[in-house]
Amino acid sequence: MSEGEEGRAALRTKSAEVVVVALFFLLGGLVIYDSVRLGIGWQEVHGPRPGYFPFYVGLIICVSSAINLAQALLVADEKNTTFVQLGQLKLVLTVLVPTAIYAALVTWIGIYVSSVLFISFFMRWLGRYPWWKVVAVSVGAAVVFFLIFEIWFKVPLPKGPLESWLGLD
């Protein structure tokens, strides 16, 4: 997958480094902000205030991120390798986006129905399996999970309208 359009770099390593460092700064900043609010000094009886430890944690995050940023920026342009190719990114997103939708769906229709939909989507979209195989595997998996968790280990999982219609919860 290294040739043509699919092999083109979607993102270079340097850009990726900068994005991640920015996220680290955001996190460190948030931590420092809330630590200062809680107090970072010494307090009689209790010793260091609640913000003391996180404050330095936030500080170290920011300082080391600054160094990481500098090191990333110092990389020469010709050594700036591909972080992810276009084709790879497409594949990763075809998994990531459905996974995110799946996680959101669990709230509404329960984990069993959304799992059936999720597995079906994968097998049909990426695997191009005939529908009967898709249905057999996805429904089969859901039934196996139901037996293991609800019946065998008695761990209730989130359920939706279908389960209450079937009277399973």
| Chain positions contacting other proteins, by CB under 8 A | 1, 13, 16-17, 20, 24, 27-28, 30-31, 34-35, 38, 42, 46-48, 50-54, 57-58, 60-61, 64-65, 67-68, 71, 83-84, 88, 91-92, 95-96, 99-100, 102-104, 106-107, 111, 115, 118-119, 121-123, 126-127, 129, 137, 141, 145, 149, 153-158
Shortest gap between Cβ of 13 and other proteins (angstroms)? 7
Q: Of 91, 99, 141, 106, nearest to 121 (Cα)? A: 99
Q: Which CB atom, from 50 or from 78, has the smaller least distance to other proteins?
A: 50
Neighbours of 66 (CB within 10 A): 14
Shortest gap between Cβ of 62 and other proteins (angstroms)? 9
Q: What is the DSSP letter of 74?
A: T
Q: Which CB atom, from 28 or from 163, has the smaller least distance to other proteins?
A: 28
Q: Which CB atom, from 42 or from 165, has the smaller least distance to other proteins?
A: 42
Please, which residues bridge with residue 43 across strands? 47
Shortest gap between Cβ of 53 and other proteins (angstroms)? 5
Judge whether 89 and 10 are in contact, CB under 8 Å: yes
User: How many whole angstroms separate alpha carbon 99 and alpha carbon 112?
Assistant: 14
- Over 92-107, what HEC string results? HHHHHHHHHHHHHHHH
One-letter amino acid at 114 equals S
Q: Which CB atom, from 153 or from 165, has the smaller least distance to other proteins?
A: 153
Shortest gap between Cβ of 90 and other proteins (angstroms)? 10
Q: Which CB atom, from 14 or from 165, has the smaller least distance to other proteins?
A: 14
User: How many whole angstroms separate alpha carbon 165 and alpha carbon 169?
Assistant: 9
Location of structure tokens 């920011």: 62
